[in-house]
Each structure stands twice: as C-alpha cells, then as structure tokens.
Structure 1
Amino acid sequence: LTSKNIQCMRTLLNLAHCHGAVLGTSWQLVLATLQHLVWILGLKPGVGGALKPGRAVEGPSTVLTTAVMTDLPVISNILSRLFESSQYLDDVSLHHLINALCSLSLEAMDMAYGNNKEPSLFAVAKLLETGLVNMHRIEILWRPLTGHLLEVCQHPNSRMREWGAEALTSLIKAGLTFSHDPPLSQNQVKLQLLLLNPLKELSNISHPDIRIKQLECVLQILQSQGDSLGPGWPLVLGVMGAIRSDQGESLIRTAFQCLQLVVTDFLPTMPCTCLQIVVEVAGSFGLHNQELNISLTSIGLLWNISDYFFQRGEIIEKELNKEEAVLQKQAEEKGVMLNRPFHPAPPFDCLWLCLYAKLGELCVDPRPAVRKSAGQTLFSTIGAHGTLLQHSTWHTVIWKVLFHLLDRVRESSTTADKEKIESGGGNILIHHSRDTAEKQWAETWVLTLAGVARIFNTRRYLLQPLGDFSQAWDVLLDHIQSAALSKNNEVSLAALKSFQEILQIVSPVRDSEKPDTPPAINVSVPVVVGTTTATSLGRSFMRTDSIGERIGRYSGSEPPVIADEIEDLNLWWAAWNSWYRIGSESTRPPITCDKLTFIPSQPFLTALIQIFPALYQHIKTGFSMDDLHKLGVILHGAVSVPISSDASPFILPSYTEAVLTSLQEAVLTALDVLQKAICVGSESMQIMYPAIFDQLLAFVEFSCKPPQYGQLETKHIANAKYNQIQLFAPAEWVALNYVPFAERSLEVVVDLYQKTACHKAVVTEKVLQNIIKTLRIPLSLKYSCPSESTWKLAVSSLLKVLSIGLPVARQHASSGKFDSMWPELANTFEDFLFTKSTPPDNLSIQEFQKNESVDVEVVQLISTEILPYANFIPKEFVGQIMTMLNKGSIHSQSSSFTEAEIDIRMREEFSKVCFETLLQFSFSNKVTTPQEGYISRMALSVLLKRSQDVLHRYIEDERLSGKCPLPRQQVTEIIFVLKAISTLIDSLKKTQPENVDANTWAQVIALYPTLVECITCSSSEVCSALKEALVPFKDFMHPPASKVQNGES
C-alpha cells in the first residue's frame, strides 16, 4: 500500500464528506471502496461503531510502509468524521446512505455464508455509528436500520450475529437515554414503543448468544431507565416471559435476574395494567424445569407480588377501574364484548384471580418441591389477602381455582406411579415415605385438601351467602370422602383432619387481643384451626365501599352479621351422610384375605370416631334411632379392626397396663356424648337408651369373646398373667386387648343404668334382663375368663345393678315386663355360685377366701333384696333360689383338693350363710295371710330335709371312722346344724300356732330319733350342742290323750 493509494483515499473521503448530500445512489460505490480500504488497513470496529487499527494485520499481501503507518490513525479519524457528519445530511440523502450501507452489509452477509473467514463488519459498524449520531430524527431511519440489523442477528456466522446484536442493543439503549424533544417521559408513547419494538423482535431468534445480548440489554435498560419505562413495560416484560425451558440454564438465569429486579424495585413505577403480565411472567418461571431453585424463588416472587397488591390495593384498584372504563367505552364503540380473563369480575379481583390461577398451575407441577411450595403460597395468599376480594368473586375462587385444583390433584394422585424412585446421584437419600411418585403426590393431596378445608372454615361467613354454597359443600365433602377412602394412610388421615376442621366453624373474632384462637361453636374435639387474625376475618358484603374503608373495617369491632346463622341443617346432614359412608366403607371387613387387603390404621379410625361428637352437635335435633343404628355399626366395626403386627408395639399398651387405646377412648366418648344429649333431650330422644345399652353390652362381651374382623386371621392378646403373647405367632395382624375396653364399657353400663333404671323405655325394652344375660357369660366362665378381673367386675356390677333394678322389677311385677328376667337371673346365680370352671392351681388360700367372700355377698343380696319380697316374685323363681341355697348349704367337696387344703377349700363360710338364709326365711313372725307364708313353709321343709341329711351322714361317718377323729369342717357343720335345730324349735314355739302347719311339726318331730342316734359320738363339742338340741323336745312330750266316753274320762 503506497502513499499514493493513501492520498487517493483521503481525496475520496473528503469528497464524501463535503458532497454527501448530492451523492445519492453513488454512496454504494464510495462505501464499497471504503470497505476495501478498511479491510486493507485491518481496521476493526470498536465501541459505537468507530474503526480502530486491529491487533495483527492479516495476510502477507498487505505491506504497510512506515509512512503509511503514521497516517493510519488520521484516516481512521476521517472515516469516523465522515459518518458523524451524516447528521447534517437531509432526510433523503440520509436514506441513500443507509440503503447503501444495508446493501453493502447484505453482500457481506452473503459472502459470510458457509465461510469460516472473518466477515466484513464495516457496514454494520457504520450503520450503528450513523444511527447514534442521528438520534434527534431517529423515527425516520429507525425501521430500515433496525429491520436490517435484525436480519444480521439471524446470520449463521457467530461474529456477524454478535455485531448485529451489539449494534441493535446499543442503538436501543442510546435511543432511550437520548434527550428527545419533547422528552420520552412526556407521553411520547409512540416513540418509546418504536424504540423498544426491535428488542421484542429479538425474542423470535433462537440463537442463545443473541438472547443473552437481548437480556443483558434489558437488564441495563432496567438499571438505567427502569423508572421511566411507562408504556414500554409490556414489551420489556414480554422479553423476559419469552424464554422457554429448552433455552438453557444461563439464559433462564439472566431472564430471571431481570424479573427479580422488576419485582423488587419497579412494581410501584409501572402502570397497574402491567401487573397482570408480571404475575404471568413470574408464573412461567415457576414452570421452567431447568433449574429447581429458580422455580422455587419465582413462587417466592409471587408471594411478594401478592403482598404488594395487598398493601397498595386502593391505588391499584382505582387505576384499574379507570383503565377498565376506557376499554369498556372503546369496546362499546366497536360493538364488541370486552374480552379479558375472569370477566365479569372487577379488574382488581381479576388480578388476584390470575395470581391464584398461576399458583394453582404450579400446584400440579411434576416436581414435588414446587408443588409443595406453590400450595403453601396459594393458601397463605388466599388466607392473608382474600378479604380484599369482592363477595361475588369468591364464587370464582371456589369453583375455578380451588375445586379445579382439587380435581387435578386427585386425578394425578390416583394415577401416579407406584414404582420406587431411585435416590438421586451422589449421597442424596430419599426418605421411604416419599420414595414413589404416588407418595409424593399424596403429600400434595394432603396439603391441597387441608388448605381448601381451612378456607371453607375461616371464610364460611363469606361463602355461605353465595347462591350455590350447598353444592360447593357437597363437592368438598365428596373430595374429603374420596381422600379418606384412598388406600394411602397419610391421605386418608389428613382427609379426616380436614373433615374435623370444617365442622369447627369459626365465628369472626370480636376480641382483637386474641387473634390466634378462633372460638369454635359447641365443639368438644380439639382441632387446630389455621391462624386467623382479626384483620383478615371481617369483610362486609356491601361492595360499594372502597378498599380503604374495607381495610379500616377489618380491624373494627363489629364482625359481620350472618343471616340465618351457620346452623344450616341440610349441610350438616350432608356431612353426616359423608361421615357414615366413610365409616361404613372403611370399617367393613374384607371379603377375601389375600396379602394385599387394606386394613385402616388405628390413628385413622380414632380420628374418624373423634369427628362424631363435633358433628353430632349440629345434627342432634334430628338424630333418629335409624342414625343411632348406623353409628353403632361403625363403632362396632372400628373397634373390631386389628392392628398390623409391625405397628402393634407402638399402639398396644404394655401387657401389665390395663389402659384403653385412643380409639377405644374415642368410641366411649362418642357414646358418652350421645347419652348426655339423650339425658337432656326430649321424650322422643329418650327411647334411644336401650340401643345405647345394647351397644355397650356388645362391647362388654368382647372381654370373653373378642370380635372377628371378617375372615382375617389374628392373634389375640389376653391378660399376660395367664397367656403370654407368642411373639413369633404367624399372624400378620394383632387383635387388641379388649379386656380393659370391655371392663370400662361395663362400668359405663352400670353408671348409666343407675341413672335410667326407672325410665319407661329401659323397662319396656328389658334392659335389665339384657344386662344380666351379658353378665352371665363372664360369671359362668369365672376362672376360665381371659382375665381374672373380668368376672370380679361382673359380679360387683351385677350386685350394683340388681340393688337398683330389683325394686323396679317388683314395682312392675303385675305388668309382666320382667317375667322373662327372673329365670335368667336364677340361672346366672346358679352358674356363678356353682361354677363348672376349676380355680387355677396357683391360686393362694387368701385368694380363695377372697373369692368365697364374693359368693357370700351374692347370697346376702338374695337374703336382703329377693326373699323378703317373695310375694312380688314368681313362685318358680323362689323355688329355684331355695334349691340353690339348699345345694349351697351342703358342703360340696371337690375331688381335686388335697387333704391339707380340704379345711379351707370347702367354702365353709358360704355354706354357713346359705344355711342361715334358709333358717332366716324358714319362719316368719310377720306372716299375716296364708299366701305370704308360702316362702316360710318352703324354706322350712328344705331346711329340715337338709338337717336330716347332715345328721344321717354324720352318724354314718362316725361309725365308719373308728378311733380316727372326723375332719374339722364336718364337726363344725354338725354343730351348726344342731344349733340351728334348737333355734328353729324355739322360733316355732314363739310363732302363732295357726302359722305353722301340721306337716312342719311332723318333720321336726321326725328329727328326734336321728338326734338320739348321735349320742354315741366321741366329740365333746358335738355332745354339748346335741344336749342343747334335745332339750326343747321336752315340750313335745305329752301323756297320750285318754278316750272320752259319755262325757266322762
């Protein structure tokens, strides 16, 4: 390159500089030449499009002399000045210049296709330079300029693209910072949109390097011009939102950085109409699946956005309403409907609904962490800010947001994969409760259902006046029901907790001092209700007020008045029906017993039964016998369900404790709530007493006959004292220890009977007979009961019940209502006092005597409560009792006793009491009519026969024993009989002669020969008793009466 060449170039440059305005299409030639020069000189474009000498000059062909080297900077300078002076060209000439640059650039682009050599960037650099100096009239050149640069940005050559993007973004930034006249901030909407449009157009280009440039430009615009973007916001936000999941992590990260900047710094400065776009963009980042942290952070941004809406609600609402009016007017002029999402809800409410809908979408994201975070945010937002919504908007929230979400979650949960998910690489372990997609969806289901239930509970007063609240209630109950009956323990238990929650209706808080404890209405079951504050609870229904007034009223003192109160019976009956369906489905025993049988867990059943008291408070007025029967089926079913052997160590009490499981406690609580309600209820309710007794008595039977759960094989745990559990038993299911439960039920029966014995229904339905019949089971088993405590409690209960029930039975003697009870009672006494079960070998003598004293108590009851009233009691019954006493008064010797034990084990005390009772009733000084005397005659003949038997046996044994003394208890017995005979004769003498019939005297006198035979006995004690017995017979010894003839003896 010689100096002549250089001189030539300088001339050309000067020509262009001075006469650019008349060059017209000749610019093409001039520029092509200049491009060639630039290439020869190795000038490279720098910042702002100016050309600077490159680092190394390409190719050996270009040899620059030293002289030329010194001219280089001068030439580069003149080149720049040439394009700077384009600002003085008129508009037409400027267009010629730009067209020439564009066509030069197109040539360069064509040459760069499929070519790895460095492309010529001269034209692009000079387009940038020309654009920058002509900012004051940018409108006239902007479209052709940016249109061409956008094409350059799509070029396959990366260096070419990079400069196209550099030029375009530099122009946009310069355009926004330039001091236009009038300034951009003064309503230059058109110009601003013109400047920003190419930025948006870049979103259609898929090259990542271009998109990075685009987003860096957005970030710089936000940092420098964010406050004054105004009408340009939708475009800028659109650029962020246009990033797709498949465009790589770094792009998504940069775009997200822009969004974070917007949310933290620029929400107050952007027009309110753009807020909805911010919500959508933030939501779209939540759905990106490249980077979990970005999804989670975007959910946090949505929460911040909602907070901003809440704090500036009034301003936003005003501005949106103003905008809405304008749009409405335009739509009417065009004769079209206003079209926006969630129309016709007011615009401010639509903003909230868009936010809820976005969070709702994120609640069904494939990633569990995103679902969980979105769910918590959605329900917190509705909980904290829902009061701002207009009343009618709640309809959309319930149906379009919440129920729609529940449907989707339920569907995904029921179709989720049951395959185990392998732990993620490295050392990350997945907990076993979350190691399948199904379990992870279960967590989402739980969270969603709980959230919806809490909203129904705390916002009830807002939802109830909506026209279709009862349909919504039914849908919610349906969701609770399907979750409760799902075969996943976590979901089913959570569904019941949600059920509990919607029954604890929270009335709006009056006392702003205690916002954390909403008062529940008539509730006995403690349930954690989501924290509701005074601020977020009250919201009036009239919608003419502004947000400011509303917010003021939330903290005000009067809660909203609720028309026709919350006690809407139909709703509660729908809840009862749902509860019954859940209960009957879940407690129904399986038909087959394969390995996969689903058995509900104990916490589930406990929660199910604990719901009843709260539910009952709402439906007690219409609760019928039929409903009580349904309840009984569920209670019985729930108690019969066995426990999985894996869970048994955590649920079963240790063997030595006699405690109830929480399920058994809940069942008794449910019955207790019922009986208390019946007690204070109307006459029609009180006919339910017998049904409650039946239910409790069925539980009492469990002590001896544990319930079966379908065909399921279970191992039973009885009292450990007699029956240690075999831990290696093959059964997979363990039946509970029913003894403490049955015994507690029995205590309840006794307690309830003491209160209700005289009640008409209790008398008519033969409750006393049923109690006796049930008690007969443990009493006849006696020592064979699974637990020793059972028969002891049964006998003490029987004594308590009889002491109350027998007077009632005598009172109704004539009505025949108790006729069938007497034989049952006689058989029960018989089975207990003369049990067929043998005492265990390890029973100590003290224990035996204790047990004997119980038998004695029973006989004492007979002597105080039954026999004195014999004239009100059927004769057959009295006859049975007499036979029993007779049998008891004869020593019944068991063959299994050893000689040493014989003394003690003969139940001597018992025999004595039986004998005394016979003696006591064998005569009566009070008898006034022959009918009343029948018990005396009966007792007497039994007693005399009994004495005769004892005497005969003694004489026989004495004769056979030779020199050996007889056993002590036999000697005691004969002494007792002899004393009884003397007492009896004394008593007979004192009795009015007409009250003792001849037959009795004959039996007494018949004893005399037998007594005489005893005289040979060897025992001195027997002799002295015999003497006392023989003395009274002197009164029977009269001389024989002489015959009377003719009035003379």
Structure 2
Amino acid sequence: MCTQNTVSQRRTEHHIVNVLVAFVYGCDGIGTAVIPLLFSATVCQHTHAGMRSWGAEAITSLVKAALNHTYDPSLHSNLKLQAAILAPLQKLSSITHADIRQKQLDCVFQILHSNGDTLLHGWPLVLGVIGALNNDQSEKLIQNAFQSLQLVVTDFLPIIPCKYLLVCVEVASKFGLQNQELNVSLTAIGLLWNIADYFYQNRNKIQQELGGDSGQSEDQPNAAMLPFDSLWMCLFSKLGELCVDQRPATRKSAGQTLFSTLSAHGSLLQKDTWKKVLWQVLFPLLGDVQKLSSRASTCKEESSTGNILIHHSRDTAEKQWAETRVLTLAGVARTFNSKRSILQTIGDFPRAWSLLLEHIEYSALCPNAEVSLAALKSFQEIMQINRDSKEKTEDTRGGRGNVIPPSEEVMCRSEDETLTASKLSQNEGSKSDNDLTLWSTAWRVWLNIGTLSTKAPTGKSQKLYIPSQSFLTALVHTFPSLFHHIKSRFVAADLQKLSTVLRSALSVPVHGDFSPFIIPTYPELTITPLQESTLNAVQVLIKAIKTGSDAMQNMYPDLFDQLLIYIEYGVRPPKYGDIETKNFGSVKGPQVDWITMNFVPFSEKTIELVIELYRNTAKHPAVIQAHVLQHIIKAFRLPLGLKYGCPSPTTWMLSINALLTILNIGLPVARKHADFQDMWPELALTLEDFLFSKNPSLPTLSIEDFQRDETVDCKVVQVIRDDVLPFAGTMPKDFVMKIMDILNKGSIHSATSDSFIDTESSRKLREEFAKACFETLLQFSFITRTANEGSLTKMAVQSLLQRCQEVVKNYVEDERLSGKCPLPRPRLAEIASVLKAITTLLLSLKKASPNNVEPSVWQQVIQLYPSLVECTTSSSPQVCKALKEALHEYKDLLSSPGHQNVPC
C-alpha cells in the first residue's frame, strides 16, 4: 500500500513539474512567481530521498526553462527578472543534503553551457552557487563544483562584468581553502594566477569599466583604493590566507603564486595600495607563518602520511612549516628588492625596512638550520640593490608614469629618463640621511646575528646549537655588500665588533659526521668557503681604508691585529667555548663529535696578506705609533719557535720568509724612529727561537730537506750581517749583544746529543750555518773603522773567543772519556773548525793596529793557550793539522807585541 502511494505521489509531482514548465513558457514573467512558492514548500528538505529529488528536479527544471524562455525585453538586460529566476537555485545552497547539492551543481553546469553568454548580472548568483561549499561536502561534490568554476575562468572571464570579477577571486580562494580535495586546492591556486594574468592583460578595459578614480585624493591618509587596485588587493589577501593553510603543498603553491604575482604585476599598483599590501598582507603573513612555525609539532605523524614515503627533511610538521617560512621570508625580501623604487615612496618605508630586518634577524637566530640559512640569503637579497631588476621591464610595458626613483639611490630604470639633472641633484640632499639610517639599521642587525649566533656555549647544556659552516659563510659573505653602504660611517668601534664576529665564526667547529665533506685532506689543502669569505671581507676593508679618510686610515693597527690573530690560528687553533674538539689531522679511528677546522692554508694566505699590507703602510704614522712591526714579529715568533713542531712544515718556512721580507721593509723605518725601542728585544728573541728551536727535526727528514732548511738558517744570518750589524750604532746595545750571543751560539754548533758518542749527530750538525755565523763574527771582529763600530768589534771578538774556549774544553774532556774509541766525525769537524777560527782570529788581531785591540782581548787569547796544548794528544790527523797551525800563531805572543803590556 505504501509503495503504491509513493509511486502515485511521484507521478503527481512529475505532472506538476511539466505543467509548471509549460506555464513558464506560456506566461512571460508570471511563471517565475511559482518557483518561490514551490521552493517554499518543504519538498527539497523532505526526509525522504525521493521526495527531495523530485523537488530539486522541479526547481532546477523550472530555472533552466525560465532562462531558455524568450523575453521582451531580453532576459540579460532585465536584472530583476534574472535575479528572480536564479534566486530559488541559490537558496538550495542552504540545504545540506548531498543529493540536492548534486542536482544544484548539475543545473549550474548546464546553465553555463547553454546560457553562460547571457547571464550578465546573474553571475554573482551563479558564482555564489558554485562557491557554496563546506568541508562537510564529499570530494565528488567539490570536484563537480570546481569543474563549473574552471569553466567560468576558462571561457567566461571576458564576458563577466568587471564589477563581478571580485566574486570570481573570492570563489576561487574558497576552493583553495577547502580541505577535502588537495588537487582541487592546488588547481584553484592556479586559477587565481590565471585570473591575475587576465587582470594584467585587460587592465585598460577593467580600469575603464570600473571607473578611473575613487573621487578621493591620494594625499588623504584614509583615501580609498581605486577599484582596479581593490581587485588586486583582494587577490593578494586571498593568496595570503592560502599561504598559512594547514597543508604544506597548498602553502607552497600559494606562496609561489603570491610572490610571482607581486613580481610580475606589482608595477600596476598605486603607492597607497603597496602600503596596504605591506601592512595588510606581507607583514601579517610573516608574523602568522613565524607564529605557526614555532608552534608546529616536532613529532612524526604516521597517520597523516599513510603509506606515502616522505623525505626525512619534511617528515614533521615543524620541518614542513620551516619550508613555508623560508619561502615567505625569501619572497618578501625579493619583493622589497625588486619593488624598492615604489616602496620607498611610501611614508613609512623606514619602519617597514626595520620590521623586515627584525624578521630576518629572528629567523637567522632560529635553531632550524634551513630557516637560519634562508634568512641570511634574504639579507643578501635586500643588500643587492644596484643589480638589474625585472621591474625595469615591468614598468616599461605597463607601469604608471607617476612612479619616481628612490630617494636614496638613483637606479637605472625606464622612468629615470624623465628626470632632469636638477631633480636628481635635489634628491642628493636627503639621500645621505635616509641611506645612513636604513643601512645603520641593517648593520646593527648583522652584528646582532653575528654576535648571538656565534656565541660560544658555556657549561654542558642539554640543547646545544652549533651554526653550520654554510650559515657562517653566508653571514660573512653578506658583509662586503653591507659595508659598501656603511663605509662612510664605519669607525674603529665597528671594526672591533666586526673582528669579534669574524673570530667567533672562524672558531666554530664542524661536526665529525660532516668533516669529510667540509675539511679538505692532505695533500689537497685549501681554505674553506668560510675562511675565503673572511679574507674577502678583510680585503674589502683594506681597500676602503686605503682610499679613505685619515680617521679611517687610523684603523690600520686594528686591522693588523686581526690578521695576526689569523696567523696564530695556523699553529694554535681557537677554542669554541667549553666544547671538546679534536684538531684537524689528529682524529684516528672512530669519529669524534666536533673537529676544529684546518687553519693552515688560511693562516698562510693571511701571511701573504700581511706582507702586502705592511709593504704599503710601513711608513704610515698610525702604523709606526701603534708598534705594528713589533706585533708582527711577535706573531711570527710562535710558528718560528715551533719550527718543526708546526702542524705543517710550510707554515714556518713561509713565516720566516715573510719575516725577512717585512724586516727588509721595516728596519730602515725602525732605525729612524724612537717608537721602535720595544721592537728590538722581540726581534732578538724571535731570531733566537727560530735558529735554535726546541723542536728538533724529524728522524725521517731527508738529507736534501735538512740542507734546504739549513740554507734558510743561513739566510737569516745573512740578514743579520747585511741589515742589522752594519747599523749597530743606531740600535740598543742590549739588542746588539743579544745578536752577538746568537752568532756566538751558532758559530761552532755543538752536537745536539749529550753523549760524546753519537753516530746520528752528523745529520744534526749545521756546518754551513756554523760557518755563516763564524764568518759574520769574524767580519765584525776586524779592525775598527769608526767610533760606532768600536763596541761592536769588542763584542764580536770576545764572543768568538768565549765560544772557542768552551768547545775546546768540551772536546778535551770527551776525548779523555772516550779512551781508544774515536769521537764521531761531527765532533772532530767541530774542533777542527774551532782551531781554524782561532788561527784566523790571531792573524787578524796581529794585523790590527795595537790601539784598536783591547788588552782584555789579548788576555783571553793567552788564556786559551793551555786548553790548546791539551788537544795535542788527539789521534785525528784533521785535528792535529788545525792545532799545529793555531799554535804556530802563538809564537809571536811569547813576547809582548809592540808597546802592549799583555801578561804572559
């Protein structure tokens, strides 16, 4: 009975629908009154699916029939009638039943195909039906609705009245925000890009149709935007909402579309609109992304990924939001850079600049390595103001003519051609002040990032964050571009802060797991990117100081101090707080947590830089007064003293050559100024530490390498002979005495072993070096030529005699202890060299004028005689021959020569 009633009821409804349709075709306009009456019934909301279906069928059929009917006047010109026909269809949107929604969407799709070109003022209602979606609807319903929207954007945008384009943007953004179907969201974002392209391509038509002006002056602070700009503002706002969607793919697509649209079409906007874009879209977006990123979960959510494999860099919500944060910050920075000519015409550009830098600073100090590195890249982006900008092309093809170039910098843009020379000169007055404020803020932010990110940890903290080498390299690499803008106000205090940041950055170790990919290995030792960026930064400073004012050139000493610290790193790597690290090259077996960077190539390149810098500044007053030469010698003393103990043999070799080069430049200057009094003792200690290093050569050192190293030692003695001793009268007496002691010590170099029998000592006896020292002593032990040389000659002779006495005495003692076993060849060569030195000295003394030889010298010579007699027991022919020649010279001393009263 129930089934028969239902069938009867459906037949009745079907007949009613047919009658109403026929009624509509028969009565112009009157039939439309029936539709609301039918809809007002509860048929479409009936609990019975069949009843709902027939009710919806009735309404959709009536709407389609009414739209296909011929009216006079035509339907597309009758706004009231069109709204009355479509209103019942729109009211179906309030019904939540899926079958009713499906009927509604099918009807809309058919209407678009058959009546889309005649809708005109009915577009808001049709678009409203399409956009009546919610997250409770099924994927199929959303896909069907989106199919209609795609048809509208693809085929009907040109015929939609421009005042309804705003609705298109809003509906497309709704599909982007729904969370039932990801592909629909991504495609909807693509539709927004298509809509933006349509706005650009048809800008003249849209502006004309919407009306050129809002009727308000741009100078009014609350002036409304132009209608055309309102379209863009709506588009940017909707994209901004999509940029903080919960789905990473949606956020990424929306972000790329937003910033691409700003880049491609931003030149169409008025400056007041740009102001709203900054403060209502971009900066709120930065804040929202930053907030949501900080709250994101760090745990993996297996349920959200299902069976899909996700890369480890994106397997948590935090990492996914980090990607969004990177994209957003990079996009805003790129917008600031490319649109700066427009942005800085707005009144609060300095405030916007400062806020952007705050976001960059906050992100750069984020523990997430991806975000922090991207923040520095964004910093670099806004530093590159003078590079070619895409905006030039944009402004040429469609920009507004009232955009003026930035007040701070005159960039090469198409609109610049309209500016005369007088206008440019007027801008110069405010250029320096504005520029100084903006770049000073940037410099302060750079220092904050550098100081806080490289701050060494103290104690054992559970959460340890060490910046990566990529981050530090990007940080230092940013400095040259920034310095270009701040060098006019760069002072000594800034240099000190910069130096602190650079030193801290260099001291940061690298994790053991990554060290094979960052630290080069032997023999391919090169500087790391961070070290290279540091040297580049220093070279930029050197160039600026060289051509700068006197105040800037007074920074030379501080710059030298910084470079000398870098040289020290080559042999004494810096520590990074309390972190336990292993030096480069000392890691054996399992990897350790942290490894100190290899500073040898970096230190050696710094040495070359110091040589060149000192060559150009040796006579500068600031360099002289700050005792830079003394500091250089002191810095070289460490690697030279270590010598064979240096991590790399090239370090001490390069250091001694550098020192000799610098001495060749600096000694002539030092001899003329009293400011170098403290330099001489430092030089003497450095030479002594190098020539008599406490670190012996390695047993594996070949004879060729040993002779090569000995040649370097002889080169040092040559510098003493040519550049030091001839000018002894202009140098402190203590320094000259110390040099004589050094030559004395090296003139007849004793074997390094304490044992009188040492078969290995032959390789450790620097015979050529001893010969060079002896010849130098001998050269300055001859006849005194001037009054200034008198004291030098006395010191040289006494030093030589004292050394001879010591060696002869030791030889006699060792030979006695050795018995019948002969002493090693080096010991025999040593005593033979001493005897020859005595012979030569006696010949020189006897040829000298008696007035030029001190009586105490003759006394020392005679006191040496008993020790020589003890050597007559030697069995070595070499020793006996040299002894014989020396004793023959004593025959003239058996009686006092001349009027000298020398005691026998």
Matched, 1:776 2:667: no
Matched, 1:933 2:793: no
Partner residue in 2 for 1:743? 604
- After superposition, residues 640-719 of structure 1 pair within 5 angstroms as 640-718=507-585
What letter matches 1:727 in structure 2? G
Partner residue in 1 for 2:408? none
Matched, 1:162 2:162: no
Q: Is the 8 A contact 1:923 1:937 kept in 2?
A: no
Matched, 1:146 2:5: no
Matched, 1:728 2:568: no
Structure 1 residue 218: deviation in Å? 1.1
Say which of 664, 668, 674 aligns to 1:803: 664
Whole-angstrom CA distance in 2 between matches of 1:193 and 1:695? 79
Secondary structure of the structure 2 residue equivalent to 1:182: coil
Which is worse superposed, 190-199 or 130-139?
Answer: 130-139
In 2 relative to 1, CA 538–749 (structure 1 residues): closer, same or farther, beyond 3 Å?
farther
In 2 relative to 1, CA 958–705 (structure 1 residues): closer, same or farther, beyond 3 Å?
closer
Matched, 1:904 2:763: yes
In 2 relative to 1, CA 750–58 (structure 1 residues): closer, same or farther, beyond 3 Å?
closer
In 2 relative to 1, CA 349–970 (structure 1 residues): closer, same or farther, beyond 3 Å?
same
Matched, 1:367 2:257: no
Partner residue in 1 for 2:265? 385
Partner residue in 2 for 1:631? 498
Q: Deviations over 1:215-235 (max 9, x none)?
A: 111111111111111111111
In 2 relative to 1, CA 896–400 (structure 1 residues): closer, same or farther, beyond 3 Å?
farther
Secondary structure of the structure 1 residue equivalent to 2:367: coil
Whole-angstrom CA distance in 2 between matches of 1:358 and 1:781? 68
In 2 relative to 1, CA 136–960 (structure 1 residues): closer, same or farther, beyond 3 Å?
closer
Structure 1 residue 972: deviation in Å? 3.5
Q: Is the 8 A contact 1:480 1:496 kept in 2?
A: yes
Say which of 288, 309, 314 aligns to 1:408: 288
Identity percentage over the alignment? 53
Which is worse superposed, 428-437 or 170-179?
Answer: 170-179
Say which of 388, 394, 398 aligns to 2:274: 394
Whole-angstrom CA distance in 1 between matches of 2:483 and 2:415? 34
Say which of 739, 757, 760 aligns to 1:881: 739
Q: Deviations over 1:644-683 (max 9, x none)?
A: 2222221111243321111111111111111121112111
Say which of 708, 711, 714 aligns to 1:850: 708
Structure 1 residue 574: deviation in Å? 0.6
Q: Is the 8 A contact 1:146 1:198 kept in 2?
A: yes
Whole-angstrom CA distance in 2 between matches of 1:821 and 1:427? 74
Say which of 308, 320, 343 aligns to 1:428: 308
In 2 relative to 1, CA 354–856 (structure 1 residues): closer, same or farther, beyond 3 Å?
same
Say which of 89, 92, 106 aligns to 1:202: 92
Q: Is the 8 A contact 1:390 1:543 kept in 2?
A: no
Matched, 1:862 2:729: no
In 2 relative to 1, CA 969–710 (structure 1 residues): closer, same or farther, beyond 3 Å?
closer
Q: Deviations over 1:601-624 (max 9, x none)?
A: 110111001001111111111111
Whole-angstrom CA distance in 2 between matches of 1:363 and 1:355? 12
Whole-angstrom CA distance in 1 between matches of 2:576 and 2:400? 53
In 2 relative to 1, CA 241–1039 (structure 1 residues): closer, same or farther, beyond 3 Å?
closer
Secondary structure of the structure 1 residue equivalent to 2:685: helix
Structure 1 residue 144: deviation in Å? 3.9
Structure 1 residue 941: deviation in Å? 1.9
Matched, 1:321 2:250: no
Say which of 720, 730, 738 aligns to 1:872: 730
Partner residue in 1 for 2:453? 586
Structure 1 residue 995: deviation in Å? 2.9
Secondary structure of the structure 2 residue equivalent to 1:345: coil
Whole-angstrom CA distance in 1 between matches of 2:181 and 2:670? 81
What letter matches 2:557 in structure 1? P
Q: Deviations over 1:187-236 (max 9, x none)?
A: 22221112111111111222221121111111111111111111111111
Q: Is the 8 A contact 2:364 2:371 kept in 1?
A: yes
Whole-angstrom CA distance in 1 between matches of 2:196 and 2:515? 48
Q: Deviations over 1:844-883 (max 9, x none)?
A: 3333333333322222222222111110111011111212
Q: Is the 8 A contact 2:153 2:195 kept in 1?
A: yes
Say which of 118, 130, 138 aligns to 1:240: 130
In 2 relative to 1, CA 853–481 (structure 1 residues): closer, same or farther, beyond 3 Å?
same
- After superposition, residues 248-267 of structure 1 pair within 5 angstroms as 248-267=138-157
- After superposition, residues 25-424 of structure 1 pair within 5 angstroms as 119-122=9-12, 125-126=15-16, 128-135=18-25, 137-151=27-41, 152-185=43-76, 187-321=77-211, 344-422=224-302
Partner residue in 2 for 1:448? 328
Whole-angstrom CA distance in 1 between matches of 2:98 and 2:850? 129
Task: Give the RMSD, CA atoms, in angstroms.
Answer: 3.1
Structure 1 residue 372: deviation in Å? 0.3
Q: Is the 8 A contact 1:121 1:160 kept in 2?
A: no
Structure 1 residue 148: deviation in Å? 2.1
Say which of 784, 791, 812 aligns to 2:652: 791
Task: Report how many aligned residue pairs link the two structures.
Answer: 878
In 2 relative to 1, CA 559–703 (structure 1 residues): closer, same or farther, beyond 3 Å?
farther
Secondary structure of the structure 2 residue equivalent to 1:811: coil
What letter matches 2:107 in structure 1? C
Specify every segment of 5 or more residues in structure 1 that has no aligned partner in the other structure, as ranges.
1-38, 40-56, 60-111, 329-341, 508-517, 520-530, 546-552, 1043-1049
Specify every segment of 5 or more residues in structure 2 that has no aligned partner in the other structure, as ranges.
217-221, 405-411, 900-904
Whole-angstrom CA distance in 1 between matches of 2:561 and 2:851? 50
Secondary structure of the structure 2 residue equivalent to 1:219: helix
Whole-angstrom CA distance in 2 between matches of 1:490 and 1:1039? 90
In 2 relative to 1, CA 647–1013 (structure 1 residues): closer, same or farther, beyond 3 Å?
closer
In 2 relative to 1, CA 789–261 (structure 1 residues): closer, same or farther, beyond 3 Å?
same
In 2 relative to 1, CA 910–310 (structure 1 residues): closer, same or farther, beyond 3 Å?
same
What letter matches 2:687 in structure 1? F
Q: Is the 8 A contact 2:135 2:178 kept in 1?
A: yes
Which is worse superposed, 306-315 or 992-1001?
Answer: 992-1001
In 2 relative to 1, CA 599–559 (structure 1 residues): closer, same or farther, beyond 3 Å?
farther
Whole-angstrom CA distance in 2 between matches of 1:225 and 1:1041? 139
Structure 1 residue 744: deviation in Å? 2.5
Whole-angstrom CA distance in 1 between matches of 2:898 and 2:507? 80
Q: Is the 8 A contact 2:758 2:824 kept in 1?
A: no
Structure 1 residue 150: deviation in Å? 4.3
In 2 relative to 1, CA 184–858 (structure 1 residues): closer, same or farther, beyond 3 Å?
same
- After superposition, residues 494-505 of structure 1 pair within 5 angstroms as 494-505=374-385
Whole-angstrom CA distance in 1 between matches of 2:857 and 2:714? 28
What letter matches 2:98 in structure 1? P
Whole-angstrom CA distance in 2 between matches of 1:277 and 1:842? 85
Q: Is the 8 A contact 1:782 1:791 kept in 2?
A: yes
Partner residue in 1 for 2:772? 913
